Amino acid sequence: MAASWADEMVGEVVVAASAPPRPTRPSYIPPALRNKPLSADAPEYSPISSTGRDFIGSSRSHRSRIPEPSPFEIVEKLSELGFSDGAGINFDAYDDIPVETSGTDVPQPVNTFAEIDLGDALNENIKRCKYVKPTPVQRYAIPISLAGRDLMACAQTGSGKTAAFCFPIISGVFRHCGLNQRPPVRKSRMAYPIALILSPTRELSSQIHEEVKKFSYMTGIKVAVAYGGAPMYHQLRDLEKGVDILVATPGRLVDLIERARVSLQAIKYLALDEADRMLDMGFEPQIRKIVEQLGMPPPGMRQTMLFSATFPNEIQRLASDFLSNYIFLAVGRVGSSTDLISQRVEYVRDIDKRSHLMDLLHAQQANGIYVKQALTLVFVETKRGADSLEHWLCMNGFPATAIHGDRTQPEREQALRSFKSGVTPIMVATDVAARGLDIPHVGHVINFDLPKDIDDYVHRIGRTGRAGKSGLATAFFSDGNQPLAKSLLELMQEANQEVPDWLLCCAQRSSHGGGKARRSSGGERFGGHDYRRDVSSRGGSQYSHSYNGGSSGGASYQPQPPQNYSFGNGTIIASGWD
């Protein structure tokens, strides 16, 4: 059976067997809210102002100031917390990137962090992380969010979207309840977060949680994470200490709300990472429940930010229900892959895949590509396939681990740790690892089995070529992948990649046969943008502003002859792994 997204969400998501009817507005009232007016100890909420900063006082539980380590311990503590050397980012890689915004009164982008008023504490943490300059999505998205505007943002994988929504949230929450600003109120077992960040997988929620903690260091902001598969006890204990920013997966969050341990009444900031996935079939009913039926302030009374590297039109349409007068931001073309990733596609019969993988890995080894902790991520279709390939690799002398939805959470975490540390430099994964994970030194993504949907391919290969560094993606294309041929061809052509002749033929065949592997993104397939433009273009529109125009820049990759795994001049790989 295919490891669909439900693979990840065992026990977490209600998978719709058929398209569920769109729920009407609040029918369900969680136990925590039944027979109760707005709780006396729940904070009120007010509309977000145009500056996003007119927070009214809330009666949140009083908490004592967090003991902070002395300034002399900070450097040590920061490295413990995983502060990385962000100074290595190659900003030139983003220079030519086309940016498009649509909506009314779009705030101007900035060029430096200094131009943005994020507050001293956050600025200090940005410096500590060695983020010297905002990435393009941050240049645009942060001023938009700081202006209190709702945002739907699409930017390529690895381009810094996490900070783009975390910085405005941390800055806003800090202004509301940072150090020494908490109104004294009585203690409550129910947590009233001000900001909620939802993501589709446990590992991604955990990663975002670490990022938020890093950037709210020494601010007094309380950050917590809640996801399934981990013992409830620890999460409840953290929630009882009070939470300002909650990062969660949908299933566990609903559970906590129904147990009356979390209330959404105080939410002022809502961010959905991987928003298109969150509104895809399996998740949509649960997200709708969280956003529309469990007491969260409605659009206009909260600020909502949706981010992803892909945003099909029909998902944009669904998402617009959650937004109020929003700005659409596209950095790079919607759903495109980054030019930083060199893509190869090879025709391999299913029966030959293992031996082909072996040749590839041996060639990598022979070329010294395993130096410097170079990691290889291999995507397969099924959980069973992941286990079996992991076993086979290990038996053949390649230290490998595997991650998929049938593994326990401790096993999943252990797999990630051993991959990240290079103990097992190969990780076999289902789509559970396709989105959002930021693993340094992943130099090569191999699609042993290609996904059915081209958007999934974009996210999978996006585990390499991050933060301005280069990477390589190899796909094994077999007969069963015919329906993907056309969209794969278009994606590769758009990213200036060399396309083998056989793929051109396959694509022609599949377009005649009606092959379709991408959800509609409007009139222009890879030029698809804000879906409102398609609607309003019929009657004229005020939408859309383009910046930097032109192309997204030529790819630096020099095509290599087939079967030659020396990777040419070596710079493609080496720069990704240094």
Ligand X SMILES: Nc1ncnc2c1ncn2[C@@H]1O[C@H](COP(=O)(O)OP(=O)(O)OP(=O)(O)O)[C@@H](O)[C@H]1O
What residues line the site for ligand X (CB under 6 A)?
86, 89, 131, 133-135, 138, 155, 157-163, 309, 436, 438, 462, 466-467
User: How many residues are given for the chain?
Assistant: 578
**Beta-carbon count within 10 A of 66 CB:** 12
Sheet holding 442-447: strands in order across?
341-347, 471-477, 442-447, 375-379, 426-429, 400-403
Q: What CA–CA distance (Å, rounded) separates 123 from 107? A: 21
Minimum CB separation from ligand X for residue 168, in Å? 14
Task: Give the phi and the psi of residue 344 in degrees, each rounded to 5.
Answer: -125, 145
Task: Give the phi and the psi of residue 424 in degrees, each rounded to 5.
Answer: -120, 95
Minimum CB separation from ligand X for residue 372, in Å? 17
Structure token digits, residue 341: 């990733």
Nearer of residues 131 and 192 to ligand X, judged by Cβ: 131
Nearer of residues 158 and 312 to ligand X, judged by Cβ: 158
Return the CA Rg of the chain.
23
Q: What CA–CA distance (Å, rounded) separates 159 from 161? A: 6
Q: What CA–CA distance (Å, rounded) separates 457 from 451? A: 6
Minimum CB separation from ligand X for residue 402, in Å? 20
Minimum CB separation from ligand X for residue 461, in Å? 10
Q: Find where tokens 């949509």 sit.
A: 284
Minimum CB separation from ligand X for residue 310, in Å? 9
Nearer of residues 280 and 438 to ligand X, judged by Cβ: 438
Structure token digits, residue 111: 């060029």
Structure token digits, residue 192: 């009233």
Nearer of residues 135 and 293 to ligand X, judged by Cβ: 135
> Residue 250: how many CA atoms within 13 Å on its side-chain side?
31
Structure token digits, residue 418: 């051993």
Minimum CB separation from ligand X for residue 281, in Å? 20
With CA atoms as reference, report the closest residue to 102 among 550, 531, 578, 562: 531
Minimum CB separation from ligand X for residue 287, in Å? 18
Nearer of residues 208 and 361 to ligand X, judged by Cβ: 208
Contact 375, 446 (CB under 8 A): no
Contact 435, 200 (CB under 8 A): yes
Nearer of residues 312 and 436 to ligand X, judged by Cβ: 436
Nearer of residues 203 and 381 to ligand X, judged by Cβ: 203
Q: Which residues contact 309 (CB under 8 A, 6 or more apart)?
A: 154, 155, 156, 157, 159, 161, 335, 458, 459, 462
**Beta-carbon count within 10 A of 104 CB:** 10
DSSP string across 437-474: ---TTEEEEEESS--SSHHHHHHHHTTSS-TT--EEEE
Nearer of residues 159 and 481 to ligand X, judged by Cβ: 159
Beta bridge partners of 379: 429, 447
Q: Indicate the helix (H) or strand (E) that contains 574.
A: helix 571-577
Minimum CB separation from ligand X for residue 301, in Å? 27
Structure token digits, residue 54: 């007119």
Nearer of residues 138 and 263 to ligand X, judged by Cβ: 138
Nearer of residues 30 and 471 to ligand X, judged by Cβ: 471
Nearer of residues 461 and 488 to ligand X, judged by Cβ: 461
